[in-house]
Structure 1
């Protein structure tokens, strides 16, 4: 499916909703639901059925109310996407403890966990981010760790962008296999096994000498599942990124 994107709704209305400061309710009957209930239901639909299944009508069905009643709280699906993305980012529950590197690793692990718990986040482009507490708390957490590391102000913002790009990109890439397995019923490991004939009958050792040498050096030997390999790659990439940042302190 085509990716959804955050930041596409009415700016004033979306920001007010993200910070739970909607317009004062009109006099009359007490609302049947809250914005939090709508967001929770929307996340549940996306978790269970994918982001493509999430619509205002489907969320209303989940809540057992009429679709139009949702629009009195949330303008539409575009704004709801922002609320959902920021809502799951709030689940990270970041704790500032340990060295600056420990804190960045904690941030990375908690962010990665969010993507695995909510694979539909892979389908949300946050180039124009949801400016809510979930996102902003994470930004502040990383910036504080980098500042405490002793980086100059400009280095802090550049290092922050590099960390954000790596963590979100790597986490999103990891859940691709998870989504495909759920959609097709076939694991990544099974998919590769079914293509063993490529290596046996089609792979040209003279055309790809570096890959061949790595193969003979047993560099591709699997240690666990694809998920295990993805975790090792994530940890390795993050450690090398932090090594590079730390090198700028010397």
Structure 2
């Protein structure tokens, strides 16, 4: 048994059953060991959460050899994909008092991209906060929807069910958006992330000089 095995097992449990299902006893059972043996690798339940969050941060790509907008776009799309794979992590990402090395490396790299682009340290703080607010808010909405946001057929099925239960005259604007946008071929709610991200990046570009 290794620390990596403990972390991987905890993540597998959380992915399958949610973060509440992650206990020292359950991890030990999955590994075929006594629960007390886990304390050689993690200090307690909080320690497990710390390394699980660090595991998720390690999955996020941060390019440092490309233009800042493209680097941040890749980072945001990679972070969204990681959080969709591990939705339990959404409420934990910035909650740890003892962040791990991958978490710290991630934050340092993101700040470095913005500093290299000419953001002041204050401007980088503003930008980082805005990016993560958009990321976490979008993923929260996406992962709590009653359908797979990337599945066009599932999106259409839910939209049609909602549409069938409303009177278009009572809700004309919702009806218009549903029929003229959501129910059109090729629509996927997952595409909204990239559209919104471009608006955020445009705003950062416009404010980069002002924040200086």
TM-score range, shorter chain: 0.7 to 0.9
Q: 1:205 aligns with which of 147, 169, 186?
A: 169
Pair 1:128 & 2:95 matched: yes
Higher Rg = 1
Q: 1:58 aligns with which of 17, 26, 29?
A: 26
Q: Give the Å deviation of 1:209.
A: 4.5
Deviations 1:189-232 (A, max 9, x none): 54444444322xxx3635x454355457x23434446xx322x2
- How many corresponding residue pairs? 203
User: CA, structure 1 residues 161+237, in 2 after alignment: closer, same or farther (shift >3 Å)?
Assistant: same
- For residue 138 of structure 1, what is the aligned residue in structure 2? 106
Whether the 8 Å contact between 1:86 and 1:132 is mirrored in structure 2 is yes
- For residue 243 of structure 1, what is the aligned residue in structure 2? 202
Pair 1:48 & 2:48 matched: no
Q: Give the Å deviation of 1:47.
A: 2.1
Whether the 8 Å contact between 1:121 and 1:172 is mirrored in structure 2 is no
* Aligned mates of 2:159, 2:172 — CA distance in 1: 21
User: CA, structure 1 residues 141+171, in 2 after alignment: closer, same or farther (shift >3 Å)?
Assistant: farther
Deviations 1:40-77 (A, max 9, x none): 11112222333232211111011110112213432322
Q: Which runs of 5+ in 1 are unaligned?
A: 1-32, 182-186
State the TM-score, normalizing by the size of structure 1.
Answer: 0.70
Residue correspondence of structure 1 range 80-229 to structure 2 within 5 A: 80-122=48-90, 124-129=91-96, 131-177=99-145, 189-199=156-166, 203=167, 205-206=169-170, 208-212=171-175, 214=177, 218-224=180-186, 228-229=188-189
Q: 2:3 aligns with which of 32, 35, 44?
A: 35
Q: Which runs of 5+ in 2 are unaligned?
A: 149-153
Deviations 1:73-129 (A, max 9, x none): 32322221121011121122433132100100111111112112223224x334423
Specify the SS of the correspondent of 1:109: helix
* Aligned mates of 1:196, 1:213 — CA distance in 2: 10
User: CA, structure 1 residues 212+176, in 2 after alignment: closer, same or farther (shift >3 Å)?
Assistant: closer
State the TM-score, normalizing by the size of structure 2.
Answer: 0.81
* Aligned mates of 1:39, 1:141 — CA distance in 2: 24
